Amino acid sequence: MTALRASLAAALVVGAWATAGLASASASVPAVDSPSAASRADTAEAPASSGLLSAMRRDLGLTESQARARLAAEKSAASVQGKARQAAGPSYAGSWFEPATGKLTVAVTDVKKADVVEASGATVRLVDHSARQLDAAKARIDRLSAPDGISSWHVDPKVNRVVVNVVASAEDDNDVRTFVEQARKAGPVLVRQTPEAPRTFSAGTVGGDPYYTGNVRCSIGFSVYGGFVTAGHCGQAGAAVSGWDGSAIGNFQGSSFPGDDYAWVSVGNGWWTVPVVLGWGTVSDQLVRGSAEAPVGASICRSGSTSHWHCGNVLATNETVNYSQGAVYQMTKTSVCAEPGDSGGSFISGDQAQGVTSGGWGNCSSGGETWHQPINEILNRYGLTLHTA
């Protein structure tokens, strides 16, 4: 860790990684527009860094060539997604990426729309309920008061239902049963079990690992002009933020939790930002080139201060998560693991920023699931601009 921090002190990277990647104002560092900083961005042309590819090989069981091919297919699917939705019109019922075919599948309710949707480059599946109908059902469920034992709920386009996730140990609880009965009245619902209740992934103070606010350690999400974005549960507006060496970084300028789980922190005192995700010393950093949303089924990777790089798949979007502190809306669920201290860290698909780590269940030894708050929602909420290569 000492060698890692020394190398970061020479580059002063603020990216979608944990706070261990920040250096103090007193360190000897190049200017942000220096040749060394510029050459670092110019020479990395590949969309996937060695760190991201290594995590995909380990967590998804892919060879490097398979990982690169999948990223290329997912990038193509993401570009098709908007065109296919527009082509489907009111008949649109959701979409997802199919790793087996390397194509985007789009659900529609009107068979007459099949040809025009297929012409956009997508595969078509005919279903009963439109996305508008399912979103309306989910919105009705959002207005219910969820008890402990209800983990989350989201629209699943593959099953054409609103899926309500119930913690296995609580399925016989009377309040849980009542909630499920009320949810079924809201629209087409499918109930699934989940092994654990969701929790946020902030951590108590651990010596030598930033960033810190009070006695909480979290991870940096993505650089924006003027600062970085992170999780809202990590600190309230006005709270001071310090780095691994105790030096001041800045302050939380905006924060929302629960309801949302996002925040942004100003950067000053000699700190600055560059558009990368930390490679954690042994592998290259990942450049950030945009924030195009990956479809359900696409691969996605996460970087955080505790568990570093891990990968999985996008499982659901627009999911409501029922934390003990209150519900958080419009989250994206993934099969990526995370651990305490990873909160706020980056989720990225290829070279496209996806969101900041919020919480989940499990860990990176036994596995689990993790949610992130989508990056574009955060940028729009605070009027921020993502720092891209």
Is residue 233 annotated as a catalytic residue, yes or no?
yes
E-strand stretches of 55-114: 92-98, 103-108
Burial of 225 by CB count in 10 Å (0-12 exposed, 13-18 middle, 19+ buried)?
A: exposed
DSSP state of 169: G
Q: How many residues does the chain have?
A: 389
And the tokens for 355? 């969101």
| Peptide bond preceding 195 in cis form (omega within 30 of 0) | no
Helix (H, G, I), strand (E, B) or coil at 163: strand
DSSP state of 157: T
7 contact partners, CB below 8 Å, separation of at least 6 = 281
Among candidate residues 59, 209, 260, 261, the one labeled active-site is 261
Cα angle 105, 107, 110 (rounded to 5 degrees) comes to 135
376-379 CB contacts, 8 Å cutoff, 24+ apart = 376/291, 376/293, 377/260, 377/262, 377/330, 378/221, 378/229, 378/262, 378/264, 379/224, 379/229, 379/291
Among candidate residues 129, 154, 233, 387, the one labeled active-site is 233
Is residue 148 annotated as a catalytic residue, yes or no?
no
Is residue 59 annotated as a catalytic residue, yes or no?
no
Element at 325 (helix H, strand E): none
- Report, in this order, helix, strand and coil percent for the chain, each rounded to 5: 30, 35, 40
CA torsion 224→213→254→280, rounded to 10°? 20
Among candidate residues 343, 346, 349, 358, the one labeled active-site is 343
DSSP state of 38: H
Active site members: 233, 261, 343
